[in-house]
Amino acid sequence: TQLLEQSPQFLSIQEGENLTVYCNSSSVFSSLQWYRQEPGEGPVLLVTVVTGGEVKKLKRLTFQFGDARKDSSLHITAAQPGDTGLYLCAGTGGYQKVTFGTGTKLQVIP
Amino acid sequence: SQTIHQWPATLVQPVGSPLSLECTVEGTSNPNLYWYRQAAGRGLQLLFYSVGIGQISSEVPQNLSASRPQDRQFILSSKKLLLSDSGFYLCAWSELAGAGYEQFFGPGTRLTVL
């Protein structure tokens, strides 16, 4: 069974601070996605990383896929209240199976 | 462009009653379809997925079932709801895109079983 553990589980920070969310597994994934979900809505895809060591930037968000394709991180620079939400990583492994992480709930206080 | 619809948006049902949640996708053909359940503020639990009409794979044994009567229609059902069936149900679709299986989610159904 492939498991994806996210840390921290909860994060409450002031506007303007930086933060990093981690997504770790003992399994290798062919690709990894990050999603953001707001309360009462479905998750929205932010990015997909495919190559080990790959770094992608989306405005103030930086995503990195581990060299061994077992882990990933999401770094937010100068967080804003609009970044508040539940962040989910998801890895694609064998047999087209997608495993979602445990989630990180972020609150950015104005 | 592709869109995904789910209904109803919210549902309150008594224990022991039946359930039918519907999901439809527009703007794509032969999508992979998924049903997930989510506990408050937590990750997603995959319940069922389908790679084609009439093809259903179950991930978690429970009193729920799924059907795919048409290419872009996915239905989640139960004959008798349990209290533990309460939660936020999400339908999603995907298609093979390179090496990734990016999923696109519907707005969800909030189910409360009393």
Nearest-CA neighbor of B49 among A95, A44, A90? A95
Q: What is the pLDDT of residues A7-63, one digit of tens each?
A: 999 999 999 999 999 999 998 998 899 999 998 999 999 999 999 999 999 999 999
Q: Any CB–CB contact under 8 A between A90 and chain B?
A: yes
Record the tokens describing residue A96, joined without a space.
């087209």
Contacting residues of B for A103, CB less than 8 Å apart: 41-43
Record the tokens describing residue B73, joined without a space.
């229609």
- A78 Cα to chain B: minimum distance (Å): 24
Q: B98 pLDDT band (50/70/90 cuts)?
A: very low
Chain-centre distance for alpha carbon A87: 6
B108 and A40 within 8 Å at the Cβ level: the answer is yes
| pLDDT above 80 for A1 | no
Q: Please say whether the dihedral angle defined by the alpha carbons of residues B53, B54, B57 and B63, taken in this order, is positive or negative.
A: positive
Amino acid identity, position A49 = V
For chains A and B, CB pairs below 8 A equal 61
Phi, psi of A2 (to 5 degrees): -90, 130
| pLDDT above 50 for A110 | yes
Other beta carbons less than 10 A from residue A28's beta carbon? 14
Phi, psi of B110 (to 5 degrees): -90, 115
